[in-house]
């Protein structure tokens, strides 16, 4: 189960969302050839690794947003609004993990009792 942080509603379960496929697909000019047009309509990068994709929070705010997700680990690496350029991520990017367990925190991290 993916936990997706909707930029408008916060973290929700995957079942509230609808996957919208690859993001940042540029529509070609009106004079495009059949080959360019079919490339736009059908061909996809379908990467093994970081995928920049669109999601719709269909059972929530009903708004679209972009997400960078690793298609092998399913880690959600970044969430950003529609229209923004894709964030630059390295191939080995890690998901922002949970906060460290108490034992691993330094004394300064601990909240006062």
Binding site for another protein (CB under 8 A): 1-2, 14-15, 18-19, 21, 34-35, 38-39, 41-48, 51, 53, 69, 71-74
Distance CA 52, CA 96 (A): 17
Shortest separation between residue 7's beta carbon and another protein, angstroms: 18
Q: Is the Cβ of residue 8 or residue 37 nearer to another protein in the bound state?
A: 37
Q: Is the Cβ of residue 73 or residue 94 nearer to another protein in the bound state?
A: 73
Exposure string of 40-79, with b = 16+ CB inside 10 Å and e = fewer, is eeeeeeeeeebbbbbbbbeeeeeebbbbbbbeeeebbbbb
Tokens 């460290």 correspond to 100
Shortest separation between residue 104's beta carbon and another protein, angstroms: 28
Coil, strand or helix at 66: strand
Shortest separation between residue 45's beta carbon and another protein, angstroms: 7
Shortest separation between residue 3's beta carbon and another protein, angstroms: 12
């Amino acid at each position: 189960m993916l936990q997706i942080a909707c930029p408008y509603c916060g973290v929700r379960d995957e079942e509230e969302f609808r996957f919208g496929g690859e993001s940042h697909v540029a529509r070609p000019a009106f004079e495009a050839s059949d080959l360019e047009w079919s490339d736009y309509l059908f061909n996809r990068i379908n990467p093994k690794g970081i995928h920049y994709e669109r999601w719709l929070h269909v059972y929530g705010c009903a708004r679209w947003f972009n997400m960078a997700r690793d298609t092998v680990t399913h880690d959600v690496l970044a969430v950003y609004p529609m229209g923004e350029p894709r964030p630059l991520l390295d191939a080995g990017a890690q998901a922002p993990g949970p906060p460290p367990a108490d034992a691993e925190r330094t004394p300064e991290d601990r909240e006062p009792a």
